[in-house]
Structure 1
Amino acid sequence: MDNKVAILQRSKEEFHITNNVHWQPTKVSREAREHMHKHKSAVVWLTGLSGAGKSTLALQLEWRLYQQGIHTYLLDGDNVRFGLNADLGFSLQDRQENIRRIGHLAKLFVDAGIVVIVALISPLRKDREWVRSLFHSEEFIETYIDCPLEVCMERDPKGLYKKAMDGTITEFTGISSPYEHPLHPELTIHTDKSSVDDAVHTIEQHLFHIILPNQKTHQAI
């Protein structure tokens, strides 16, 4: 069964959607778009605690790829909640739905031949593994942004840990809600030890082997 059809069928079964919904293929294939872009598509999924550095790395990675002519788009967890996911809160059920929507959105971008960068806490393994199942093996790059909780709390760029500790925010990942670290991520970045430039370079080099398979090495500018 075609991957898109299998995904649609699974979604229909999960959400009890009528069988009158059918996937409409387009005349422009993913391969044609990748050929036009001169690189393959993929998704770099950055997961980790709040304050670990996901957004910082995602912004720099997007800029670096853009400078090198890579067609890319950044899906930041906070930004998506301003529009597409504005109706969702932070309960377990809403977080799962948040990840489901972003996963499908990332899939559409990948089908359009674009490199997608997702910066999202995505705390539970089963949700991340569900998103992984939407993609072919190499095109999903789970990147664990590993940073000790105490360092994240010291950084606290949005003041969220302080609010979580005094009870202003409930169900906050790492404090009152669990974070399950990846068991077998494609990449692990220790942001308490690595500089932003070094971390981005590590992600770049892994990504280039996938999206530029005919180039043995790629010298980032």
Structure 2
Amino acid sequence: MKNNIVWHKAAISKKDRERLNGHKSCVLWFTGLSGSGKSTLANEVDRQLYARRIKSYVLDGDNIRHGLNKGLGFSKQDRIENIRRIGEVAKLFVDSGQIVLTAFISPFREDRDQARKLFSDDEFIEVHLDCPLNICEQRDPKGLYSKARSGEIKQFTGIDSPYEVPLNPQLTIKTSEQSIEKAAEQVISYLEQNSYF
């Protein structure tokens, strides 16, 4: 079957789109425990990029599971497939010349490394939201930790399923020690210092 599938070369290249947009494209891969602030920070960075007229888009874990990945559960295999699909979708956004922000726990180092392999070195920016488990549990914005502690949710990251901390993220942000606005400025500053715009 694969022998009959041939990649069709686009008439407009990624470099063409980056020139038109006036900035480089990349993926900001936000990873961290549930409640660490991934979606909140990704949306604040997106808001600040929009104010600068930079083309960006947020892929949020829960939102993706309402559509593209709605058939996947939370077993280890389903989580692996969830992240594989997100990596492929993020690659399409990067090819379109945009900055894409992904907000997924993505607990397994190997899965994040597989996603990274889809991109050139400067296109994948791993952003670790380093927030202590007890703070994430106090926040518990969706009530998931209390359900996991009571046994209603099995294989919940940080409780009965591991979270593998990134070894060499491009950015580590301590969301328990600063405001979301300051954390977003840290991301924007990284992009500026590395000439993404």
Q: Normalising to structure 1: TM-score of the pair?
A: 0.87
Listed as ranges, the gaps of 5+ residues in structure 2 are none
Is the 8 Å Cα contact of residues 72 and 114 (structure 1) preserved in structure 2?
yes
Residue identity matched to 1:203:
V
How far residue 210 of structure 1 moved from its aligned partner, in angstroms, is 3.6
The residue aligned with 2:95 is 111
Task: Give the corresponding residue for 2:116.
Answer: 132
Partner residue of 1:18?
A: 2
Q: Check the 8 A contact 1:139/1:210 in 2, yes or no.
A: no
Q: Give 1:130 shift.
A: 0.5
1:65-214 aligned at under 5 Å gives the runs 65-208=49-192, 209-212=194-197
Residue 66 of structure 2 aligns to which amino acid in structure 1? F
TM-superposition CA deviations, 1:109-129 (whole Å, max 9, x none): 000000000000000000000
Q: Across the two proteins, how many residue pairs are aligned to each other?
A: 196
SS of 2:4's equivalent in the other structure is coil
- What is the Cα deviation at residue 21 of structure 1? 1.1
Which one has more relative contact order, counting CA pairs under 8 Å at least 6 apart? 2
Say whether the 8 Å CA contact 1:138–1:210 is kept in structure 2. Answer: no
Larger CA Rg, structure 1 vs 2: 1
- C-alpha separation in 2, matches of 1:206 and 1:134: 21
Superposition RMSD in Å: 0.8
Which segments of 5 or more consecutive residues in structure 1 lack a partner in the other structure? Answer: 1-16, 213-221
| AA aligned opposite 1:126 | E
Indicate if the aligned counterparts of 1:30 and 1:111 stay in contact, CA closer than 8 A.
yes
Residue 18 of structure 1 and its aligned partner are, at CA, apart by 2.2
Letter aligned with residue 152 of structure 1: C
TM-score w.r.t. the length of structure 2 is 0.98
Return structure 1 stretches of 4+ with deviation > 2 angstroms: none
2-structure distance, mates of 1:106, 1:51: 22
1:45 and 2:29 aligned: yes
Q: For residue 31 of structure 1, what is the amino acid of its counterpart?
A: K
Distance 1:197 1:73 in 2: 18
